[in-house]
């Protein structure tokens, strides 16, 4: 069987396998190895103990690389995280440097908040996202229980954005899978069930099942996250209310949760702290306690108990997606679980022994059922991955014949443009340039846009329709780029249309002069030499696909407005030749409901947009070391797009704080980069813009207003 070359990227260190996410990762990697996978592993480490296992990791994998994850995390949206807030530009640059020239069949990413890394790799690789959990609205889930917001949480639209970067999405539970499928309805991404994963039962465990003695030994082991803290303390509080118990039981507590567990006078609690070998903890326990108030994703403490053939008592949140049927395994609340156990503790020893044996037998049955379910899931995952690899190879073969096939891929992002979409597509299809493909991405339209597109597609096979949940124009265009096969890309807005034979005229000019970019009869390329053009209207330019894809793909940032200018600036850094085609026409429709018009009505959103524009562009320049060669283009973007278009045009309409935010962004970037520009660039810089570096805000505003 042919080896599958996998790059696996994770914040989880694998060793030691005494925590839930590591055990799941171990299981997933073992299934990969059974399917003839050769794995390169990159650890984006944020756990303190990770470094001490690096040597062990180097021996296990084909190649192992470690990058320290920074502690600081910023919230893009102030009250919740953006999907990309936890992956640093430095790590993106690191992965790009180490991996871009290697041939991988599959890239595995752990956690949706690391999905931005997929953007480094082109469409030839199968992208698999192992989600671990549902992260959208986790803060609401915790707040409902009076628990502090902790770790990563986001909103559904952000999670959808991350998930749609993957070809294959793995969900831990069937409920998680249903949620993801609904989130990215009509997406080409495939959602598959993977489960938590169970390890084989060792001979040691199966041969060392002890009978209970005079005292019942309960056990609880967990990390110190907020949900665990509240759950165990609520359980112990409820249990203590139902005493006294006359020393009929004790509770061993293990893991980093220990310092946060409260003591009770009538409960005998022993806090064991960090547990090096989980099997040693389990061997002294009669029944594991698994109370949980809420939760999605991994049910690892339940899985651990089952793997050790231990009887366990759990709430329904601890056994969701696990085939259980005993009341012991699905209490509807922590209070019910505590009340039931309190009564059971006071039963006679023979009755308790029978219960222990029954629950041990149940654990074996559950283990066998999970194994069978996991086997089916694993076969489905790897058959899908192998089929996807085969399809990707077929696509590469087609791409190699690109110049003899599709000349231009026209990409149309459509959202609620039922009045215009028919005119737009027909203006393209009527062009005498026939070897084209028209990729229409219906971005979650709620009017009749979708049905109009699909009717046109039935009549002309050159039209491809993709439906997705509303994710914004940038995300839609990126999906179009991912499947485009033309020599050139052409973005057309769904409410606009083009002049007669404009595609033919532009392509003809591109071939004659070997152009990277060609514009219809618009002024964007006429005002300055190509080295000093800062941006282009993304909706009207031919772009050679090879400069967008190599040396790695450039995609539009996931920003709701102005992302095409940022994208154009990135592409221009690779552009060596560009011209205007005077014969080609593009007709722009300004609508009341357009993004541009909506921004004019609510300027308070502009500072956030500006921050996102500059952040995306700065990261791109840093990732590609462009500040050493193309600072001028960056500064000109700051002037043309940020200062002139987003600040100066509306200066009298902004609130004081909004104007100040934009002003400070411009000032900061000027201070950082103005010293590196050449004298030729200064010819294109205006005095008002340059004065920002020297003036404070109030002085500047007094002079301008």
List, for residues 389-401, the tens digit of each pLDDT value: 987 775 454 344 4
Q: Is residue 597's pLDDT more than 60?
A: no
Provide mean pLDDT across the span 618-640: 92
126 backbone φψ class: left, alpha, beta (φ>0; ψ -120 to 50)? beta
Inter-CA distances, 72 with 66, 359, 433, Å: 18, 45, 52
Count of H helices and E strands in the chain? 26, 21
Lowest mean pLDDT among 28-37, 48-57, 224-233: 48-57
Largest CA distance in the chain: 95
pLDDT digits (tens, 9 = 90+) for 439-468: 999 999 999 999 999 999 998 989 999 999
Confidence (pLDDT) at 252: 96
Residue 612 has pLDDT above 80, yes or no: yes
pLDDT exceeds 90 at position 223 = no
**Distances from the Cα of 409 to the Cαs of 11, 62, 69, 581, 659, in angstroms?**
38, 39, 39, 18, 40
Residue 166 CA to residue 104 CA, distance in Å, equals 15
323-380 residue pLDDT tens = 898 999 999 999 999 999 999 998 888 888 899 999 999 999 999 999 899 899 999 9
Q: Can you tell me the mean pLDDT for 541-557?
A: 92
State pLDDT tens for residues 649-698. Answer: 888 888 899 889 999 999 999 999 988 888 888 889 999 999 998 888 99
| The pLDDT of residue 611 is above 70 | yes
E-strand ranges in 310-450 read 312-314, 408-414, 436-443
Work out the number of other CB atoms within 10 angstroms of the CB of residue 397. 9
pLDDT top residue among 15 and 93: 93
- 3-state class of 39 per DSSP? strand
Identify the pLDDT of residue 401. 40
To 10 degrees, what angle do helices 300-307 and 20-34 make? 70
Alpha-carbon torsion (52, 56, 60, 62), positive or negative: positive
Domain ranges of the chain: 4-193, 203-369, 401-591, 602-705
**Six token digits for residue 618:** 């700065």
Instruction: Judge whether residue 618 has pLDDT over 90.
Output: yes
For residue 557, give the nearest of 494, 443, 473, 661 by alpha carbon: 473
Q: What is the mean pLDDT of residues 138-158?
A: 81
Per-residue model confidence (pLDDT) at position 202? 56
- The CA distance from 249 to 244, in Å, is 11
CA angle 579, 583, 587 (to 5 degrees): 95
Q: Residue 50 pLDDT > 70, yes or no?
A: no
Helix (H) or strand (E) holding 168: strand 168-171
pTM value? Answer: 0.57
Q: What is the pLDDT of residue 433?
A: 86
d(CA 170, CA 650): 46
What pLDDT is stored for residue 203 in this prediction?
A: 45
Cβ(41)–Cβ(57) below 8 Å: yes
Q: Do domains 4-193 and 203-369 have the same CATH topology?
A: yes
Residue whose entry in the numeric block shows the structure tokens 């903890």: 281
Query: What per-residue confidence (pLDDT) applies to 702?
Result: 84
Residue 353: Cβ within 10 Å count:
13
pLDDT at 400: 42
Average confidence (pLDDT) over 29-43: 92
The mean of the pLDDT values for the chain is 87
pLDDT for residue 654: 87
The answer to whether the Cα torsion of 150, 154, 155, 156 is positive or negative is: negative
Query: CATH homologous superfamily for 401-591?
Result: Spore Coat Polysaccharide Biosynthesis Protein SpsA; Chain A (3.90.550.10)
Contact 591, 495 (CB under 8 A): yes
The HSE-up count of residue 319 (CA atoms within 13 Å, CB side) is 25
Across 137-157, average pLDDT: 80
**CATH of range 203-369; options 3.40.50.300, 1.10.340.30, 3.40.50.2000, 3.40.50.10490:** 3.40.50.2000
Residues 271-304 pLDDT 10s: 999 887 787 888 889 999 999 887 666 677 888 8
Mean pLDDT over residues 498-514, rounded? 90
Q: Hey, what are 124's tokens?
A: 């030839």
95-104, 162-171, 252-261: the lowest-pLDDT one = 95-104
Q: Is the pLDDT of residue 63 over 60?
A: yes
Cβ neighbours of residue 553 closer than 8 Å, sequence gap 6 or more: 119, 120, 121, 122, 123, 481
Question: Model confidence over 173-220: pLDDT tens digits?
Answer: 898 999 999 998 867 789 999 987 877 775 445 445 566 667 899 999
Q: Do residues 352 and 337 touch, judged by C-beta distance below 8 A?
A: no
Lowest-pLDDT choice from 110-119, 138-147, 468-477: 138-147
pLDDT at 609 over 60: yes
Which CATH superfamily is 4-193 part of? Answer: Glycogen Phosphorylase B; (3.40.50.2000)
**Which pLDDT tens digit goes with each residue over 391-431?**
777 545 434 443 457 999 999 999 999 999 999 999 999 89
Q: Residue 601's pLDDT band (boundaries 50, 70, 90)?
A: low
Provide the CA 432 distance to its chain's centre, in angstroms: 41
Residue 16 or 573, more confident: 573
pLDDT, position 206: 47
Mean pLDDT of 48-60: 77
pLDDT for 131 equals 94
Give the model's pLDDT for residue 607: 87
Q: Which of 313, 86, 293, 306 is nearest to 217 (CA)?
A: 313
Q: What is the pLDDT of residues 249-258, one digit of tens each?
A: 999 999 999 9
């Amino acid at each position: 069987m042919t080896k599958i070359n996998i790059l696996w990227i994770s914040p989880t260190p694998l060793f030691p396998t005494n925590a839930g996410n590591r055990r799941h990762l171990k299981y997933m990697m073992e299934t990969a190895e059974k399917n003839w996978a050769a794995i390169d592993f990159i650890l984006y480490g944020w756990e303190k103990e990770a470094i001490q296992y690096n040597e062990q990791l180097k021996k296990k994998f084909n190649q192992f690389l470690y990058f320290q994850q920074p502690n600081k995390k910023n919230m893009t949206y102030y009250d919740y995280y953006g999907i990309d807030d936890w992956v640093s530009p430095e790590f993106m640059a690191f992965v790009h440097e180490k991996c871009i020239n290697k041939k991988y069949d599959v890239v595995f990413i752990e956690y949706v908040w690391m999905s931005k890394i997929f953007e480094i790799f082109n469409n030839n690789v199968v992208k698999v996202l192992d989600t671990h959990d549902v992260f959208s609205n986790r803060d609401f889930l915790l707040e409902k229980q009076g628990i502090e917001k902790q770790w990563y949480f986001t909103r559904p639209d952000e999670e959808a954005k991350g998930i749609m970067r993957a070809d294959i999405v793995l969900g831990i539970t069937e409920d998680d899978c249903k949620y993801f499928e609904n989130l990215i309805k009509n997406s080409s991404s495939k959602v598959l069930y993977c489960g938590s994963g169970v390890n084989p039962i060792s001979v040691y465990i199966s041969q060392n099942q002890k009978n209970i003695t005079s005292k019942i030994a309960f056990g609880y082991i967990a990390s110190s996250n907020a949900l665990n803290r509240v759950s165990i303390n609520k359980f112990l509080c409820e249990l203590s209310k139902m005493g006294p118990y006359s020393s009929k039981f004790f509770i061993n507590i293990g893991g980093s949760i220990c310092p946060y567990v409260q003591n009770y006078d009538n409960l005998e609690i022993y806090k064991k702290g960090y547990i090096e070998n989980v099997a040693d903890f389990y061997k002294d326990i009669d029944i594991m306690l698994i109370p949980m108030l809420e939760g999605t994703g991994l049910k690892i403490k339940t899985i651990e108990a089952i793997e050790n053939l231990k009887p366990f008592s759990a709430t329904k949140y601890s056994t969701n997606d696990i085939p259980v049927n005993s009341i012991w395994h699905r209490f509807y609340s922590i209070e019910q679980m505590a009340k039931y156990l309190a009564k059971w503790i006071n039963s006679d020893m023979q009755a308790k022994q029978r219960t222990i044996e029954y629950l041990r037998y149940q654990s074996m049955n559950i283990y066998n059922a999970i194994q069978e379910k996991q086997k089916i899931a694993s076969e489905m995952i790897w058959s899908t991955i192998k089929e996807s690899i085969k399809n990707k190879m077929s696509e590469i073969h087609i791409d190699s014949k690109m110049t003899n096939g599709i000349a231009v891929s026209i990409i149309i992002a459509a959202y609620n443009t039922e009045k215009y979409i028919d005119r737009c597509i027909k203006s393209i299809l009527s062009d005498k340039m026939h070897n084209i493909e028209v990729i229409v991405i219906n971005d979650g339209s709620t009017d009749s846009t979708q049905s109009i597109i699909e009717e046109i597609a039935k009549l002309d096979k050159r039209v491809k329709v993709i439906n997705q949940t509303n994710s914004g124009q940038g995300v839609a265009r990126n999906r179009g780029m991912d499947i485009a096969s033309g020599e050139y890309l052409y973005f057309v807005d769904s409410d606009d249309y083009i002049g007669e034979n404009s595609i033919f005229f532009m392509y003809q000019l591109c071939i004659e002069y070997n152009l990277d970019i060609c514009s219809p009869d618009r002024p964007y390329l006429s005002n300055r030499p190509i080295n000093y053009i800062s941006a282009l209207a993304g909706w009207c330019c031919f772009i050679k696909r090879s400069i967008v894809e190599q040396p790695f793909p450039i995609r539009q940032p996931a920003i709701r407005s102005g992302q095409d200018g940022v994208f154009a600036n990135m592409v221009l850094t690779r552009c060596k030749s560009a011209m205007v085609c005077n014969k080609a026409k593009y007709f722009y429709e300004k609508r009341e409901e357009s993004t541009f018009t909506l921004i004019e009505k609510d300027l308070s959103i502009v500072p956030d947009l500006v921050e996102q524009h500059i952040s995306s562009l700065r990261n791109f320049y840093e990732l590609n070391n462009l500040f050493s060669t193309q600072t001028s283009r960056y500064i000109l973007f700051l002037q043309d797009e940020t200062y002139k278009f987003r600040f100066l045009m509306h200066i009298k309409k902004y609130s004081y704080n909004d104007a100040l935010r934009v002003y400070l962004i411009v000032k900061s970037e000027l201070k950082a980069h103005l010293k590196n520009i050449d004298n030729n660039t200064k010819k294109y810089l205006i005095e008002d813009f340059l004065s920002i570096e020297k003036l404070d805000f109030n002085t500047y505003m007094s002079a301008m207003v």
